[in-house]
Structure 1
Amino acid sequence: MTDLMKVTLTQDAPAPHWGTASVTFQNDMAIVHIKAGDVQRQVQQAARKLQSQGVSSVALEGGLWTVDLQWAFAQGFATAKAQPQVQWTGDAASQTILANRLASANFARHLINETPENLSPMVLATQAAEWLSEIGGDKVSYRIIEGEALLEHQWIGIHAVGRGSERPPALLEVDYNPLASDADVAVALVGKGITFDSGGYSIKGSEGMLGMKCDMGGAATVTAALGLAIKSGLNKRVKLFLCCAENLISGHAYKLGDILTYKNGVTVEVVNTDAEGRLVLADGLQAASETGAPLVIDAATLTGAAVMAVGTNYNAIFSPQAEVLALAQEKALAAGERVWPLPLDPWHRDNCPSPYADTANSRAMKGGGAGGASNAAGFLWRFVAPNTNWLHIDLASAFSDSGDALWAAGATTHGVLTIAGLLED
């Protein structure tokens, strides 16, 4: 890299003429002044300031840079238009960790920021499968079930949501197995892969629809997490399922009042076609449960209610098992990511009643009514096999509509390290 700006950290206060500035400059050096508290947040904010001033390439220097602080800087320095150009510091092992994180995050960021025209359901499934195959070699196998073939396998939700588009929906199944061919599956991952969400006949307004290329953020996040774990030497069998569809309006689109009968016999009345994510995840969770994996993790940009509850700097987490929530919080904290548990009790499964079916896919009111994120998680719980440890991640922080003090506009990849940590545990 050329024309690098050097960036160093100091615990010293800035000189008086800089006032309370958190970033000062001396010749070709930017100095980030850190103080007690959330240092990673301070560093990420400093990176955003430098990037917004037109700095495009940096070299990190000095003894205060840990792996996590360097990663925080890279997250704040990335934009939708350019990958972060950061020269790492530290020993070879640290630089390998950072390079692997960046490669995985860049893959997810590219997918999430891609235009809906370029990223159809089949393109998403194919790119995810090929990327994981490049990393895992012959330890990775996969299949894609496309279009009408979904009905043959009884994947009713993905087919219903995606049938309104001319571009067919798909279910990607990836098997990463570094062990014997008959090894048990240790973890199953499920990702929501709605490549564009118009809301269907419950159509969104233009402002709400503009950023809906991000609605496959769950698929990108679990794929990137698995890729990162493989790069880090993952030695357990993991299966991944991406539920890919475009939620569009046409003469073939599913409608309000339709009733879907799922593979496990659960009937669902469609009361909101904009609550489509849970309909495709229902298939993915059943497929994950069929593997017999003792731990199932799904990730999805699922509800606006989660954003309202935890804001845009946290991801919301749900699980029937307190120990699963505790482990997710531990892994997020270790990775410098933020998660927060929201309520999930057995009665949440019945919080979307229907007079015509076992359940509705939402409640017929704006945002799904009070407790919408928990009600969505309760709906998903119906499709998880009994006695399975299950973590549902509602990715409130996966995408920044217009950018803020921490993130540039677009994909954040916030959540990738948490899931990778759970896989590596």
Structure 2
Amino acid sequence: MENGIKIVTIGGGSSYTPEFVEGLIKRYDELPVRELWLVDIEAGKEKLDIVGSLARRMVKKAGLPMEIHLTTDRREALRGADFVTTQMRVGQLKARIQDERLPIKYGMIGQETNGAGGLFKGMRTIPVLLEISEDMPELCPDAWLINFTNPAGMVTEALLRYGSHPKVVGVCNLPINTKMTLARLLGVEVERLEIDFAGLNHMVYGLDVRVDGESVLNEVLDIMSDPEKQVSMKNIAPLPWEPGFIKSLGIIPCPYHRYFYKTGDILEKQLEEFKTGTTRAEVVQQLENELFELYKDEHLAVKPPQLEERGGAYYSDAACNLISSIYNDRGDIQTLNVRNDGALSDLPRESAVEVNCVVTKAGPKPVPVGELPVSVSGLVQQIKSFERVAAEASVTGSYEKALLAMTINPLVTSDVKAKQLLDEMLEAHKEYLPQFDGELTHR
């Protein structure tokens, strides 16, 4: 790192890449990136070229000596890397459409990180990330693997349990998004706000909120009880919480908790969208097409504002803050997916959890939390069981484990339907599930 930093982004043809590049440009004084390698597969080469050209224009406009390399040769890119970020979608948006539409067909919620859709996204993704994890000890043994790929909790669980590379961190934009939103609703600068996050990815709770060190949890619960002031994200329907429920819960749920606490309302909305053919995946497909048309413009040399409609607000802040804090040994607090190591006493030490961590050059160290409140501990443990069994199914290609994972998840409502749905989804995604080849013919 003496001559500057080498970062490799796998899934570099993603529509999110300009946001990441903007984050690196903004922080160049503290994070001198010498080389950024954008890597994608052959099927994503056209998008990689479009995004890569925009990235080069952005760097040129900023007047920085940052080299942008584009390649489909992952091993070439990894050699000598300091940080490796992953932001891939195995099967691209076509697969996401199946993940969302097929469960709805069976009367269940279709979503890319939860339920049956989350299981299949994980099973397509985990083997690819484990291959990257196998390459890194040989090609870049000191690099940190920073995963943004969803379902980030399940993926981090698999990398920690089955991966060959120990320096793994999962990152999500949800905690930073929540913090920014609450700061705005409270009318305070974000630097004055602290939130004690604990749980799992997309299943994380705010146990306390402080402004200038003083708890304002009750004030935040009052705000969240107001239907006009919702903490949500672009990809989740902003259904208002019941005031009585928020007060009785006594801690802050995240937007994804709506899938578990408001299942019927979300499903009803999804069934309406299903009939009109406008699931979130189709909306994203349209947004992606529009973004890439913008990216092609040779006069564009900044991240276009339309990217924020894509649902990844603060993505680059989460990624770049983590890289900068490791590089600069900053010792600040960030909310990350890491090995539990006893931070949450009601979950296994070796499992992935999403908690506040102190970030140093030695990596993130989780801040001890103790037990989760009894009101949420059961649901968190159920989702962790799902993630563990799903990770095992991903690695072994076991039909039985995949069926078990599906039925453990509370968004899958019937074991009979679960088997039918599993069979249909295995068939729909078989191109991206080679580990299940034998199972497809013998079940």
**TM tier, shorter chain?**
under 0.3
TM-score scaled by structure 2?
Answer: 0.23
TM-score scaled by structure 1?
Answer: 0.24
From the two aligned structures, give the one with the greater strand fraction: 1
From the two aligned structures, give the one with the greater helix fraction: 2
